[in-house]
A = this chain, B = another copy of it.
Amino acid sequence: MGEINLLIPGPTPLPPRVLQAMGREMTNHRGPTFGRIMAEILDGLKDVFRTRNDIIPLVCSGTGGLEAAVVNFLSPGDRVLSVNNGYFCERFAEIAERFGARVDRVLAEWGRPVPLDAIAGRLRADAGRDYRAVFVTQSETSTGVHNDVKAIRSLLGDHPALLMVDAVSSLGAIPLETDAWGVDVAVTGSQKALMSPPGMAFISVSDRAWAVAERASTPRFYLDLQRGRVEARRQPPGTAFTTAVTVAYAVHEALRLIHEEGLDRVFERHRQMARMVRAGVRGMGLRTLTEDAWAVDTVTPALAPDGVDAVTVGTQARERYGVLFGRGIGKLEHTVIRIGHLGYTQSAMLLAGLETLGRTLNDLGARAATDAGLEAARQTLRAPAKR
């Protein structure tokens, strides 16, 4: 833990080795030294994406990555089905609409998954097979819901729509089997489970999606993935435009950390941290927005007790105790405190965060059973890991 305890669901804390890697001197982004680093990044990402697809690196935030998915694989007027149960699902849909797509939303209350039969119904109703894409946000960070990519892919069957997954806050924290499940386009960012600073997005593109890109007529230049593919396939690989060299240094080192730990153990650690935080929150007498059956292992939205403004909790926790929680987003702003537990976030940081949450609530006159919460949280660390 540094001077602050950063418990937002991204950007996430940087491991010391990642911080150190960024201290390397600047180099030529088109030279062979950096080319080797980029080659190792793309190989390492293929392991995490679980894919043999091309991975295209971009200099942008996760939102820029989502825009790349829209402008490279959709044309104005194309129909899209948006599996939509939160703020970031809606952002993906909004981007598509901005570029002229016609988006149907299959909705659910925030904090709940979209029923699979509702999705199946929309697909059945699409007799002409007009949908060109289905959008799924795997980890909906605003609500802590895990949207089931594999199940949604199964519903698609042989429907020709591309499955496009926002994996910005999920990749490297929970399993995404890009090839085995048949994900056509998956987007992630550097600043979540990849334990690096914000500034780069990475997109996995299937052969089916590349074929669609040939025909997609939305104009694009900076985010043109076909242009990126030319550079990514060179030996050594590069990027179409100047890349974010120090962010790449960070991602390179973070992927080594993931490789050393092993992807399965990384996922298990995320499950354990999630279990611990949920137990801690409930142990102190709070509820979580999201039921465990569909809770994602990256962030836990705790509901503020009646009469307590979640924004005030966040402000006080930061100002008095140096703990940074995520604010509730959109309509959840005043009711939800989001505790991020992805990437390098350690149990000690989370226990300190839980302690601060309880203390802050008590400061504000709400009764939180801080000690009981901490004990419940610690208990999960002693319990044998369950899958």
Contact = CB atoms under 8 A, between A and B. Distances in A.
Interface in A5-44: 6, 8, 10-14, 19, 22-23, 25-33
A294 interface: no
A230 to B, nearest CB: 15
A12 B199 CA distance: 18
Given A26-B197, A198-B242, A244-B244, 12 more contacts: A13-B25, A27-B324, A59-B59, A60-B222, A63-B242, A99-B219, A99-B221, A100-B219, A191-B242, A198-B245, A199-B200, A246-B247
A223 to B, nearest CB: 8
A61 B243 contact: yes
Nearest to A68: B222
Contacts of A99: 219, 221
Interface in A250-294: 250
29 contacts: A2-B25, A3-B25, A6-B25, A6-B26, A13-B25, A13-B26, A14-B26, A22-B22, A22-B246, A26-B197, A31-B324, A59-B61, A59-B199, A60-B60, A61-B222, A63-B221, A64-B222, A94-B221, A98-B220, A98-B221, A99-B221, A100-B219, A198-B245, A199-B199, A199-B244, A199-B246, A244-B244, A246-B246, A247-B247
Interface in A212-261: 219-223, 241-247, 250
A54 to B, nearest CB: 20
The 6 A-B pairs with the shortest beta carbon distances in the complex, nearest first, are A199-B244, A2-B25, A197-B246, A61-B241, A61-B242, A63-B241
Interface in A101-129: none
Given A6-B28, A27-B324, A28-B8, A59 B222 contact: no
B95 A242 contact: no
A4 interface: yes
Q: What secondary structure prevails in chain A residues at the interface with B?
A: loop
